[in-house]
A and B are shown apart, each in its own frame.
Chain A
Amino acid sequence: MNEELILQHGLTLDEFQVIRKYLNRDLSIEELGIFSAMWNEHCCYKTSKKWLKKLPTDNEIVIQGPGENAGVIDLQDNDGIAFKIESHNHPSYIEPFNGSATGVGGILRDIFTMGARPIATLDSIRFGLIETEKTKYLLNGVVHGIGHYGNCIGIPNIGGECEFESTYDFNNLVNAMAVGHVQKDKIFYSKPKSIGGLIVYIGSKTGKDGIHGASMASDVFSEEDEDEKRPSVQVGDPFMEKLLMEGCLELMSSGLIESMQDMGAAGITSSSVEMASKGNVGVYINLDKVPLRQPLSAYEILLSESQERMLAVIDKKNNHKVREILQKWQIDYEVIGEITDTKRVVFESNNKKVVDLPVEIIVDDAPEYDREFYIPRKRKNKDFDFSKIKLEDMIINLLTNLNYLDKSWVFDQYDSTVMGDTIREPGQSSGIVKIHGTQKVIGASTDCNPLYIRINPYEGMKYTVAESYRNLIACNINPLAITNNLNFASPLDPNIMGELVLSIHGLKTAAVKFNTPIVSGNVSLYNQTNEIPIKPTPVIGMVGSNMDLNKINTNKFCEIGNKILILGKQLTKNCSPYLLQDQKIAFNICEFNDLEGLDLDFEKKIANCVLELSDLKCIMSCNDISRGGIFSALLKMQYKDMGFRVKVPDPIDLFCEYSAGYVIEIRSRDFEEVTSFLTKKGAEYLEIGEIIKEGIEINSKKFDYFDIMNKYRNDFEKIIS
Chain B
Amino acid sequence: MSFKSAVITFPGSNCDRDALCYLKDLTKGEVHNIWHEETSLPKVDLVILPGGFSFGDYLRSGAMASKSKIIDEVVKHANDNRYLLGICNGFQILTEIGLLEGALIRNKKLKFLGKNCFIKKKFKNNFNLSIKDNQILQIPVAHNEGNFYCDTETLNLLKNNEQIAFEYCKGEFSNTEENINGSIEAIAGITNKKKNVLGMMPHPERAYSDFHQSQDGRLIIESLIS
Indicate which residue in B14, B55, B113, B205 contacts A412 across the interface (CB closer than 8 Å): B113
Tell me what chain B mostly uses at the interface: helix, strand, loop, or mixed. loop
- Contact, CB under 8 Å: A238 / B211: no
Indicate which residue in A239, A412, A417, A434 contacts B12 across the interface (CB closer than 8 Å): A239
- Contact, CB under 8 Å: A151 / B211: no
Interface centre among A240, A411, A412 (most CB of B within 10 A): A412
Q: How many residues of A contact B (CB 8 A)?
A: 37
- Contact, CB under 8 Å: B57 / A420: no
Q: Is A709 an interface residue (CB 8 A)?
A: yes
- Contact, CB under 8 Å: A709 / B112: no
Chain B, interface size category, equals 20 to 34
Distance A22 CA – B186 CA, assembled complex (angstroms): 71
**B142-160 vs A, Cβ < 8 Å mask (1 yes, 0 no):** 1010000000000000000
- Contact, CB under 8 Å: A434 / B211: yes
In the complex formed, the residue of A with least CB distance to B180 is A412
Min C-beta distance of A596 to chain B, whole Å: 38
Distance A148 CA – B144 CA, assembled complex (angstroms): 9
- Contact, CB under 8 Å: B114 / A415: yes
Distance A641 CA – B53 CA, assembled complex (angstroms): 36
- Give the chain B neighbours of A418 by CB distance below 8 A: 14-15, 18, 51, 142, 206
- Contact, CB under 8 Å: A239 / B55: yes
Q: Is A12 an interface residue (CB 8 A)?
A: no
Q: Is B175 an interface residue (CB 8 A)?
A: yes
Within 8 A of A (CB), among B1-57: 11-12, 14-15, 17-18, 21-22, 51-53, 55-57
Q: Is A702 an interface residue (CB 8 A)?
A: no
- Contact, CB under 8 Å: B173 / A243: no
- Contact, CB under 8 Å: A239 / B211: no
- Contact, CB under 8 Å: A641 / B56: no
Q: Is A361 an interface residue (CB 8 A)?
A: no
Q: Is B69 an interface residue (CB 8 A)?
A: no
Knowing A154-B15, A238-B56, the reply to whether A417 touches B175 (Cβ < 8 A) is no
Min C-beta distance of B147 to chain A, whole Å: 15
Distance A237 CA – B57 CA, assembled complex (angstroms): 11
Min C-beta distance of B130 to chain A, whole Å: 21
Indicate which residue in A153, A330, A710 contacts B11 across the interface (CB closer than 8 Å): A330
Knowing A239-B58, A709-B175, the reply to whether A152 touches B140 (Cβ < 8 A) is no
**A386-428 vs B, Cβ < 8 Å mask (1 yes, 0 no):** 0000000000000000000000100111111111101100000
Residues of chain A whose beta carbon lies under 8 Å from any beta carbon of chain B: 144, 147-148, 151-154, 237-240, 242-243, 329-330, 408, 411-420, 422-423, 434, 549, 640-641, 706, 709-710, 713-714
Known: A151-B112, A412-B111. 18 other contacts (CB 8 A): A144-B111, A147-B114, A152-B12, A154-B53, A238-B56, A239-B12, A242-B14, A243-B11, A330-B11, A413-B111, A414-B112, A417-B142, A417-B203, A418-B15, A418-B18, A418-B51, A419-B17, A641-B174
* Cβ contacts A to B, 30 pairs, < 8 Å: A151-B53, A152-B57, A237-B56, A238-B56, A239-B11, A239-B12, A239-B53, A242-B11, A242-B12, A242-B14, A242-B53, A242-B56, A329-B11, A411-B114, A412-B111, A412-B114, A413-B112, A413-B113, A414-B114, A415-B112, A416-B114, A417-B140, A418-B18, A418-B206, A420-B17, A420-B18, A420-B206, A423-B211, A641-B173, A713-B175
